[in-house]
């Protein structure tokens, strides 16, 4: 089961061209939703306004080599290692979900667009999906600010939770569908239909979820490092490092 491409078996009832067109449509929805989010919320304008202000307030000028060094640090620490999370549990859950999601999406695209019989990509698909489920459900039931710190029900849902809930629904239903199909259990088309619905919600709800946030975080982290290096943040109060006080006025909850 783990080494079988579930989309190859599906091609007997759904033409590969239809599956490929669906993936292209999801990519278009993500791009369009992100652009809408940037225009509607003014994220890009806000970022560049802050950038210009920080250059004017800076006490020292940063040269090209130093900017490159800061960009590399941002990529390694803030993006690849999720260095913005002070709490170790939160960071591990985020990294599991992030890298699992990357594996899951990349392997899905490869399996749909390639006719390779290799069992590598199906295994990576399952590994990525399980990583998403471990990190995502751990975050949802045990780490969320309003659950761990405020004692609210883990089933309390807000708009900010749309991304993580649709992600968990998509991956969960996808793995269930693949398992049911591989074992020849009745109901496979139903699970597949639910999988498609959840996936469409995941990629189609970018303007209303936190999906686009992942594209802004690297830019915000880079801007923060630059303003620290050029001295323009020196007039700001130092951040309070209290990772356990999630949901407080100083440390608002962070969602995926």
Overall average pLDDT of the 20-31 stretch: 94
Q: Is the pLDDT of residue 190 over 80?
A: yes
Tokens of 242: 């209290």
Token pair 């791009």 in the structure block, residue = 31
pLDDT exceeds 80 at position 46: no
- pLDDT the model gives residue 50: 66
Residue with the two structure tokens 């469409």: 200
User: Do residues 156 and 146 lie in contact, with contact meaning Cβ atoms separated by under 8 Å?
Assistant: yes
Distance CA 97, CA 194 (A): 21
Encoded tokens for 254: 């962070």
- The CATH number fitting domain 6-51+87-229, selected from 1.10.3470, 1.10.287, 1.20.950, 1.25.40: 1.20.950
Label residue 102 by pLDDT band (50, 70, 90): very high
Neighbours of 31 (CB within 10 A): 11
- Give the predicted TM-score (pTM) of the model: 0.74
Residue 252: per-residue pLDDT: 44
Contact 213, 231 (CB under 8 A): no
Token reading at 101? 């999601």
User: Using one digit for the tens of pLDDT, what is the confidence trace for 115-171?
Assistant: 777 889 999 999 999 999 999 999 888 887 655 556 666 667 777 788 899 999 999
Give the span between the Cα atoms of 167 and 232, in whole angstroms.
38
Q: Per-residue pLDDT averaged across 14-34, rounded?
A: 93
How does DSSP classify residue 250?
A: S
Give, as one character, the DSSP assignment of residue 238: P
């Amino acid at each position: 089961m783990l080494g079988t491409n579930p989309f190859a078996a599906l091609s007997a009832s759904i033409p590969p061209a239809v599956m490929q067109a669906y993936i292209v449509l999801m990519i278009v929805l993500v791009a369009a939703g992100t652009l809408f989010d940037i225009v509607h919320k003014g994220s890009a304008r806000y970022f560049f306004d802050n950038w210009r202000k920080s250059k004017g307030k800076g006490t020292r000028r940063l040269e090209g080599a130093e900017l490159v060094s800061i960009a590399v640090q941002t990529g390694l620490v803030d993006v690849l290692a999720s260095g913005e999370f002070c709490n170790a549990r939160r960071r591990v859950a985020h990294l599991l979900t992030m890298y699992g999601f990357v594996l899951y999406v990349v392997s899905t695209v490869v399996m749909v667009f390639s006719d390779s019989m290799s069992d590598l990509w199906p295994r990576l698909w399952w590994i990525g999906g399980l990583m998403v489920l471990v990190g995502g459900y751990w975050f949802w039931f045990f780490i969320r600010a309003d659950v761990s710190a405020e004692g609210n029900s883990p089933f309390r849902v807000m708009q900010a939770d749309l991304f993580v809930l649709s992600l968990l629904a998509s991956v969960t239903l996808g793995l269930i569908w693949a398992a049911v199909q591989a074992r020849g259990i009745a109901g496979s088309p139903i699970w597949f239909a639910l999988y498609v619905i959840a996936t469409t919600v995941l990629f189609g709800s970018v303007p209303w979820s936190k999906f686009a946030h992942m594209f802004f975080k690297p830019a915000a982290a880079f801007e923060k490092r630059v303003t620290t290096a050029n001295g323009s943040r020196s007039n700001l109060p130092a951040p309070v490092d209290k990772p356990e006080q999630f949901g407080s006025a100083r440390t608002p909850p962070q969602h995926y």
